[in-house]
Chains A and B, each alone.
Chain A
């Protein structure tokens, strides 16, 4: 149910993002998906990487401040109203979305979104109960 996401602290300055990518590339680690949240001064790079433990190690040894967070991956029908349907369920279950990011899977009909809910345990129940396709880590990386 839970997916491990790495967050990396970055100063909002040229070259800092590519440095992270370079460290991961050198270690042969593939980024499945990512998003960047930023303010004028700093940013948080959020990464989904299959071998997140090793990614965390290499990033930390490269000197980055890295944090691990549990997020949820949900399959959404890639059609109008697909996401709305899920958010309605979350709302009804009293959940609030801290942030989310989406990525389309190549030839498939469905899109995948990564969501951080305020209460992950409850979110799992609500989503499962509503019959929404929450992916396990194994399923997620098998996509």
Chain B
């Protein structure tokens, strides 16, 4: 083992047999606790004539029922909690797309686990005590802010709890407080780069070296853009409030897939249609079972995130397995004239055209009963020449890149700089102006 491994990161390097044994023991415990304390889970187990004692190997996880996002809504607010409220010391909530939010709870132990996996996340990205972290994730009901906060403090980093928003102040702090690392959404970071450069300072001149970006899907092309424009190393962090918040997994310095902290989270990849478990390397939906959560355990939670498990050991030496960068969240899928389109595909296509910056927006409308899609891309100084035909050629190349990627002809409109709304949290990439259909789920 390398000498500079943080003591809390030791489970990242567990020998595989030992890890599987630990996972099984923790899975059995979780199933037993859910069976005892969560009504909906016990009912589903009983329907399958399944007892907690039937879980004898890790493969037996396939026998367990899935948990769907709808289950969280149906049991709102506390129906899936597995401990009495007096043991719950924290609540977070995520805004559901329809109606009621999803409420998640933590015991003291849960918070301890959460800070620990966040510590391991920061350490994997190369942070250590002495780093100064500008935590620009929102503080509040959203898990991002507080999750990152306690993890970084536990690592011994200096945390600036600036939260999201107020770009002027973010830049002042970044310049004056000796910031070496930042966490926020990737789209907000691009906004910060742009603002710093507009103020006549090159971003590279600041001391920021590491960026931890998450809470929205982003592409490899976006990473290249961020790293080129800011000179920092950009890391993708993964998590969701239903599981714990950020800290389920993160990229290490190899930047080749996200390590999942398997001692706390059991992962499977399933066929999104049939639920059948797929082999490593095959793309499908990520399903996670929490192994240590007390207040809000999740059994086989369907994340709707599309990825695959990367087989083989990572060059960094960690033994916990990796998943590929989330290709898309199946909830984000748009069906346009019968073709499945993901915003991430459009982003990758746009960024493959060199001059384009990642300020874009996808507009969905309906005309004569047909879904229409268009993409608006902000003009930049680099893209803009003095000739109409140059602009038309940029427009054409962007449209061709999209058509090549998604197989659909999508009109591209060039818009003036700074006209697409900047988000201080999760970027709103898709504006859906089609009349709302009834939610059938």
Residues of chain A having any CB pair with chain B under 8 Å: 5, 7, 9-11, 16, 37, 39, 41-42, 44, 46, 60-61, 63-67, 69, 98, 116
Contact check, A39 vs B384: say whether CB atoms are below 8 A apart. Answer: no
Nearest CB of B to A67, in Å: 5
Contact B386 A16 (CB under 8 A): no
Given A9-B379, A60-B381, decide whether A65 and B416 contact each other with a Cβ distance below 8 A: yes
Q: Which of B386-432 contact A (CB under 8 A)?
A: 386-388, 391-392, 413-419
Find the A residue at minimum CB distance from B414: A42
- Which residues on the A side are within 8 Å of B415 (C-beta)? 11
Q: Bound complex: CA of A3 vs CA of B115, how far in Å?
A: 62
B388 adjacent to A67 (CB under 8 Å): no
Q: Which residues of A contact B418 (CB under 8 A)?
A: 63
B372 in the interface, Cβ–Cβ < 8 Å? Answer: no
- Whether the Cβ atoms of B414 and A67 lie closer than 8 Å is no
Say yes or no: is B96 at the interface (Cβ < 8 Å to chain A).
no
Indicate if the CB atoms of A98 and B381 lie closer than 8 Å: no
Contact residues of B: prevailing secondary structure: loop
Task: Give me 15 other A-B pairs in contact (C-beta within 8 A), A5-B386, A9-B416, A39-B388 excluded.
Answer: A11-B414, A11-B416, A11-B419, A37-B388, A39-B392, A42-B391, A42-B414, A44-B388, A63-B416, A63-B417, A65-B380, A65-B383, A65-B384, A67-B381, A116-B386
A106 → chain B closest CB, angstroms: 28
Q: A69 with B417: in contact, given A39-B392, A44-B391, A60-B381 (CB under 8 Å)?
A: no
Bound: A60/B382 CA distance, A: 13
A68 to chain B, nearest CB (A): 9
Residues of B near A46 (CB, < 8 A) are 386
The one of B386, B413, B416, B417 in contact with A7, judged by C-beta atoms closer than 8 angstroms, is B386
Chain B residues with CB under 8 Å of A7's CB are 384-386
Query: Contacts A60-B381, A65-B380, A67-B381 known; A9 to B387 CB distance under 8 Å?
Result: no
Q: How far is the CA of A67 from the CA of B386 in the complex (A)?
A: 7
Majority secondary structure, A binding face: strand
B381, B387, B391, B392: the one within 8 Å of A66 (CB): B381
Q: Roughly how many angstroms separate A106 CA and B419 CA in the complex, as a whole number?
A: 39
Q: List 22 A-B contacts (CB under 8 A).
A: A5-B386, A9-B391, A9-B416, A9-B417, A10-B416, A11-B415, A11-B416, A39-B388, A39-B392, A42-B391, A42-B414, A44-B387, A46-B386, A64-B416, A65-B379, A65-B383, A65-B384, A65-B416, A66-B381, A67-B385, A69-B386, A116-B386
Q: How far is the CA of A1 from the CA of B391 in the complex (A)?
A: 27
In the bound assembly, the distance between CA atoms of A41 and B396 in angstroms comes to 13
Please, which residues of chain A bring their CB within 8 A of the CB of B414? Answer: 9, 11, 41-42
**How far, in whole Å, are A46 and B388 apart by their CA atoms in the complex?**
12
Closest 8 CB pairs of A and B: A7-B386, A63-B418, A65-B384, A69-B386, A65-B379, A9-B379, A9-B384, A65-B417
With both chains docked as a complex, state the minimum distance between the C-beta of A121 and any C-beta of chain B, in angstroms. 17
Q: Is the CB of A44 within 8 A of B416?
A: no
B392/A65 in contact, CB under 8 A: no
Residues of chain B within 8 A (CB-CB) of A65 are: 379-381, 383-384, 416-417
Report how far A61 CA is from B381 CA in the complex, Å. Answer: 12
- B361-391 interface mask toward A, CB cutoff 8 Å, 1 = contact, 0 = none? 0000000000000000001110111111001
Given contacts A39-B392, A42-B391, A44-B391, contact A64 B386 (CB under 8 A): no
User: In the complex, how many angstroms separate the beta carbon of B390 from the nearest chain A beta carbon?
Assistant: 10
**When the two chains form their complex, are residues B392 and A67 in contact, meaning their CB atoms are under 8 A apart?**
no
Once A65-B381, A66-B381 are accepted as A-B contacts, the answer to whether A98 and B416 lie under 8 Å apart by CB is: no
- Could you tell me the distance between the alpha carbons of A63 and B419 in the complex, rounded to whole angstroms? 9
Which residues in window 281-302 of B have CB below 8 A to A?
Answer: none
The CA-CA distance from A122 to B61 in the complex, in Å, is 77
Instruction: Give the distance to chain A from B290, nearest Cβ to Cβ, in Å.
Output: 46
- Residue with the greatest number of chain B CB neighbours at <10 A, chosen from A7, A42, A116: A42
Q: Report how far A29 CA is from B257 CA in the complex, Å.
A: 54
Residues from chain A with a CB closer than 8 A to the CB of B198 are: 61
Interface-centre pick from A7, A9, A16, A116 (highest chain B CB count, 10 A): A9
Contacting A at CB under 8 A, from B46-97, are: none
